[in-house]
Amino acid sequence: MTKLIVANWKMNGTLKNTHKFCQQITALAQETETKNTLVICPPAPYLDALRNDLKKSDIKIGAQDCSAALEGAYTGEVSAQMLDDIGCDYVLIGHSERRQQHKESNALFSKKIHQALDAGLQPIFCIGESDADYEANRTQDVLKEQLKALENFKKNKNIVVAYEPVWAIGTGKVASPEDIQNTCAFVEKTLSSEYALSPFILYGGSVKGENASSILSLPAVGGVLVGGASLKASEFWKIAIAV
């Protein structure tokens, strides 16, 4: 099965590095084929450069966030339509860093997902429990609550969900294959029974070249969302071809 391999560069990189990454990944893609779909989500100012550099490749581009509004007096915001306009196919919504640092809520995520779908983008809706929730065995309750943001999108085929345990992000601590499989299967079951959705479920949190194959081989995992290891083309490529 084709897997979805998504790079989230977060607020890292320079224009020079972006061009270098594109040159390197294009060369790697010419050497080895992959059946997987690759998506790169750089910081917004580099989207256009990335689109231009990758236009001859099959690699897609995505944004790390979009506005909950269509247009208007929203200083600093970028609308989903603008992202579509410059060639984005995907947009991350609900990343735990947005939840923690910007106090974004389910109601806001719902609006963002609505804008993304209306603009023809595929939202990648991120969910995940904190360390304290994990330790207290509250993972399933927390995820169920977070998934309520999808209440208005029943049966929508264009939604992707990424499960990223907060305690595994940028820490080098990866969830065990058993936890990843069980939790992704739980998300899948909840989405199908309560929202008639059957999206790709991605796993994210300290994914690297060395653990990508064991994670991507799990039956409930449709792909991965990669932070730190996606900044180097050679490391990201290892993940892209891991299965």
User: Three-state SS for 237?
Assistant: helix
- Outline where 32-162 has alpha helix (H): 47-53, 80-85, 96-102, 106-118, 131-135, 139-146
> Pick the catalytic residue: 95, 97, 129, 188?
95
Q: Candidates 30-38, 54-62, 141-149, 199-207 — which segment interacts with ligand 13P by CB under 6 A?
A: 199-207
Residue from 65, 84, 104, 164 binding ligand 13P (CB under 6 A): 164
Residues numbered 106 to 135 that lie near ligand 13P (CB under 6 A) are none
How many CA atoms lie less than 13 Å away from 46 in the CB half-sphere?
23
Helix, strand, coil percent content, the chain, rounded in steps of 5 = 45, 15, 40
Among 68, 191, 226, 233, binds ligand 13P (CB under 6 A): 226
Examine the residue annotation and report whether 194 is marked as an active-site residue of this protein. no
- From the candidates 97, 104, 129, 164, which is the catalytic residue? 164
Stretch that binds ligand 13P, among 130-138, 152-160, 183-191, 226-234 (CB under 6 A): 226-234
Could you give the CA distance from residue 123 to residue 202 in angstroms, rounded to a whole number?
12
Q: What minimum distance in Å lies between the beta carbon of 104 and ligand 13P?
A: 15
Among 18-26, 112-120, 178-186, 201-209, the segment contacting ligand 13P (CB under 6 A): 201-209
CA distance 179 to 137: 12
Residues labelled as active-site residues: 95, 164
